[in-house]
Chains A and B, each alone.
Chain A
């Protein structure tokens, strides 16, 4: 009797588990599987109709691009049979990719298809095919610009984060540093870094240096602010626990206060990254003679709007990749938060 009672609940539990596991191992719904190829076909049809009056090389390139995408989507649709990870990824991203391609098609209708309407004056709004063409034509300079932007960004960001962490920890931990540091932080910090450009141009030996300095300044403020508040809000009971276990002061700072402040510190790092993008582009537009920010102004000067949009597309990819690297680092450092807060 008691055995029966012990066995009985097992049946629903195991059934439930199967139900929970089922979606993870099951097939990708046809709707999702076909969303990308169908979107590409639609985009191709739109392209054939709307691109009759466009330059032929642009059309060829865009066809090639969509064709390659089509091939890749079919290949992935085939490969997903063998990998559960790929299936999960497809379910997650296929709808988004499909909609993005449809968005391209709509852009094409607006820019190339409706050219006869005075809605969008010609040089300012090239079609997606034209942007793609500009991107390929100018790939060397674009690559070079991206490379310069990356160097500048990493230099400034690293510098700003390093100094910001040091000042933040000092202000958060030492009362004396807090007393003198906080007013400076409150007065100087909120000034947008770009407002210092006139001063930076006078003081610094090269535009490169002043750009790095400005980016560092832009990063420094949020990192310092959030690190300091994270450190000073460390739960007193954590410090008490460590002290009764024989912790020295350096243990309290480096192994209690800093880990406890990590969620806050990452907030500062993300805010600093956003500020650094802005400052990078402004600094490149004004002083530095290289980088994506400079490229955009330069292309605009020649009225080559295809290149302007090409640079914007690359900028978007560039910044979001850097952002996702920081997300990856955060996920790694703050694994312990998983399940505690929603990311």
Chain B
């Protein structure tokens, strides 16, 4: 009984809560115009949950992830992990950026090691570097500099670089966007495997609705100007999911309709 309680509170402890968060940016011409990137967004992500965020370009997805990571602070509202208010970045909350942003002066291997070096853990965890390089299939490029990589390869390095810290909460901003269909599906399965093995909480921004349905427990649909949460859809399909099952395709149609893509296609 006691054990159950503590397990529950541990899970409770790492719930991510986004509470009435708004974020406005000053317009290009000064103070007068303001872009409301996020307007009163509330969301709660349970520990170990994998949710996806989809929505048209400019609806504030990246802004939301930056707030959760602690890189920016909201104009109003509050973000918390458990009872702790998010004020600054932390190695517990990893973020894979939309652009790979690899350090051009470091080799692939050294880029992946950044998290370990920054936290002074390189010596004891060096073996993991090879593990993650294998995971993203870049062993052969260990000593290459980033400008020798293709866009997709760079994205994979960025993914490995975030994973090596074993964050409790992993924020992914279109991490598989530049990959070919085959590599993409393989990486989706790898991410799912890590998610299950480590019980990481994940927030995945994607433009690919199939990816959202295939991967996530819930799908958050956002709308732009101001950025709001339009709907949250619970994906109740059993795992492993089949991309061609009728339920999958039904859900896909439903989401497309919500995103007005279906309407745009017929118009």
Binding site for B on A (CB under 8 A): 235, 237-238, 240-248, 251, 255-256, 259-260, 262, 334-337, 339-340
Contacts and interface: CB of A to CB of B under 8 A. Distances in A.
Given A240-B71, A255-B117, A246 B101 contact: no
Contacts of A251: 117-118
Interface in B93-113: 93-95, 97, 99, 101, 103-106
B103 A245 contact: no
B256 to A, nearest CB: 32
Contacts of A255: 117-118
Interface in B109-127: 114-115, 117-119
Given A237-B101, A245-B91, A255-B118, 14 more contacts: A238-B103, A240-B66, A242-B114, A245-B119, A245-B161, A245-B162, A245-B165, A246-B115, A246-B118, A247-B118, A248-B118, A251-B118, A259-B103, A336-B147
Contacts of B148: 339
B105 A260 contact: yes
Contacts of A237: 97, 99, 101
B105 A246 contact: no
A83 B88 CA distance: 59
Contacts of B147: 336, 339-340
B118 A242 contact: yes
A337 B148 CA distance: 11
Interface residues of B, number: 28
B90 interface: yes
Residue from the set A240, A251, A335, A340 with the largest chain B CB neighbour count within 10 Å? A240
A66 to B, nearest CB: 47
A29 to B, nearest CB: 33
Contact of B97 (A240, A260, A335): A240
Contacts of A242: 114, 118
A24 to B, nearest CB: 21
Contacts of B117: 251, 255
B101 A238 contact: yes
A339 B145 CA distance: 10
B89 interface: yes
Interface in B211-248: none
A253 to B, nearest CB: 12
Contacts of B97: 237, 240-241
Contacts of A248: 118
Contacts of A262: 105
B69 interface: yes
Contacts of B101: 235, 237-238, 240-241
A336 B147 CA distance: 8
B119 A246 contact: yes
Contacts of A240: 66, 71, 89, 95, 97, 101
A123 to B, nearest CB: 55
